[in-house]
Structure 1
Amino acid sequence: MEWQLLRDLSDAERRQVLATARRRQFKRGEILFHEGDPADTVHFIAEGRVMARRTSPMGDSVAFRVIGPGRALGDVALVSSARRRSSTVSALEPTTTLSLTFAEFAQLCEAHPGIQTLLATLLAARVKRLSDHLLEALFLPTDRRVVRRILDLCEQYETGPDRRVVIPLTQTDIAELAGATRPSTNRVLRALETEGLVQLRRGQVEVVDRAGLTRKDR
């Protein structure tokens, strides 16, 4: 597994850091932390996947990101003066994280300055991705947004080349990620199923023809 935020370390150094981290386990649906909570730890996902949600100005909870193995949680709070969680994160499946306190992570960065540079690069990429999603919400039709989010999710859930990808998310989850309503998302998914690109099952979407789905986004 590639530990994205720790790739500046040697294999031996990475193993040493992860060996000292606290192992935490979360059940499906369990909250890792809430938006606005005080932040004092960074989590590295060892197993499982989580969903990040934020509260809209209207008070609605909106999903915006699925995070999987090798990625970090809580890194935004590392560079925030408020030291508060910027989103609510819940486990989509049984999930194991390895956590370090901010003090421990600061010591790690002091010993390996490249991690700070990498953190800045990753956060900049995340800001760009969110900006891209905002532009999509303003200028792209719903069908294109739904297709793009499904393709993004394929990268999270793929198990090997040229295989079907099963995405174990509800249509409501996909609608939130696409910035669309559930009825509109259902209409798009039904059309994709009719074209033989996906198969819909209770609580999941199976991508049958990923190449064909990619062509729909052109």
Structure 2
Amino acid sequence: MTHTIRNNLAEARQMNEISDMESESIAETVFDNLEIFQGLNSREIRQLLRASEPVSFGAGETLFDEGDPADAMYLVESGELEVRTSSGVDDDVVLAQLGAGSVVGEMSILEGDTKRSASVIALCDVQAFRLTRDAFQKLRVVRNRAAYRLILNLAEILADRRRKSDARLNEVFSDPASHIDEFEAQVHDLLARMHKV
């Protein structure tokens, strides 16, 4: 059902048949289950969406490039994105493919003077909301509760990622022999890419 809502929203937006309020209400339905919005009520999600700007990208367009200033996060309403990073040799490495309900660049609203660690490209038409660090800071200055809940959620998400990374490192280093085949395959892949250059 949510997929149908997203498709209908994208079509209605293209034909300018819905108001900003209707668009916001539908977007709220798409985003209310995001981990980053856990514990936020409907009013708080709407406040964050109002602080954001709706943006559209066509297939092949870049949301941002690796190394660009990190100045905004994107809440993907519909469409698909690909996250890529430079391999340093020839081809880019695809890190992830993300769909509707995804968030990219979330760290940019917290950290100043940082650079993007990867590039994000639209694989098809994408509708999203762009929340800039400046807009988010304005919410923080007025002590907006939604902004602080979002910060707490980001802290929990980052702590969870750190725990998972630490667990994976401990797993690899506690028994390196069991991971040698995987490591060898990665080295062969890297060498093959280097020979293409």
Give the TM-score category using the shorter length: 0.5 to 0.7
Match for residue 125 of structure 1 among 140, 156, 160 = 160
Contact 1:8-1:115 within 8 A present in 2 as well: no
- How far off its partner does 1:55 sit? 1.3
Counterpart of 2:105 in structure 1 is 74
1:21 and 2:68 correspond: no
Match for residue 75 of structure 2 among 44, 51, 63 = 44
Alignment of 1:95-110 (within 5 A): 95-109=126-140, 110=143
Structure with higher RCO (Cα < 8 A, 6+ apart): 2
- Secondary structure of 1:19's counterpart equals helix
- Secondary structure of 2:124's counterpart equals coil
Task: Quote the Cα distance in structure 2 between the aligned partners of 1:41 and 1:68.
Answer: 18
Letter in 2 for 1:47: S
- How far off its partner does 1:130 sit? 6.1
- How far off its partner does 1:179 sit? 9.8
- Secondary structure of 2:77's counterpart equals strand
1:111 and 2:144 correspond: yes
Letter in 1 for 2:154: L
Contact 2:109-2:132 within 8 A present in 1 as well: no
1:111-145 C-alpha deviation (Å, 9 max, x unpaired):
22222121122233345566749x78x82756xxx
Counterpart of 2:42 in structure 1 is 11
1:84 and 2:150 correspond: no
Change (3 A) 1:41 1:59: same
Letter in 2 for 1:121: E
Letter in 1 for 2:157: L
- How far off its partner does 1:103 sit? 1.8
1:178-197 C-alpha deviation (Å, 9 max, x unpaired):
9995xxxxxxxxxxxxxxxx
Contact 2:52-2:135 within 8 A present in 1 as well: no
- How far off its partner does 1:85 sit? 1.3
Q: Name the TM-score, length of structure 2 as normaliser.
A: 0.60
Contact 2:84-2:96 within 8 A present in 1 as well: yes
Q: Name the TM-score, length of structure 1 as normaliser.
A: 0.55
Instruction: Output the aligned Cα RMSD.
Output: 3.3
Task: Quote the Cα distance in structure 2 between the aligned partners of 1:126 and 1:87.
Answer: 17
1:46-101 C-alpha deviation (Å, 9 max, x unpaired):
11121111112435411112222222221123344432211100112221110121
Report the more deviating stretch, 50-59 or 39-48. 50-59
Counterpart of 1:158 in structure 2 is none
Letter in 2 for 1:111: N
Over 6 Å off, 4+ runs = none
Change (3 A) 1:69 1:140: farther
Change (3 A) 1:91 1:5: same
Change (3 A) 1:20 1:114: closer
Q: Which has the larger radius of gyration?
A: 2
Contact 2:51-2:136 within 8 A present in 1 as well: no
- Count of residues in Structure 1 that have an aligned counterpart in Structure 2: 147
Task: Quote the Cα distance in structure 1 between the aligned partners of 2:50 and 2:181.
Answer: 47
Identity of aligned residues (%): 26
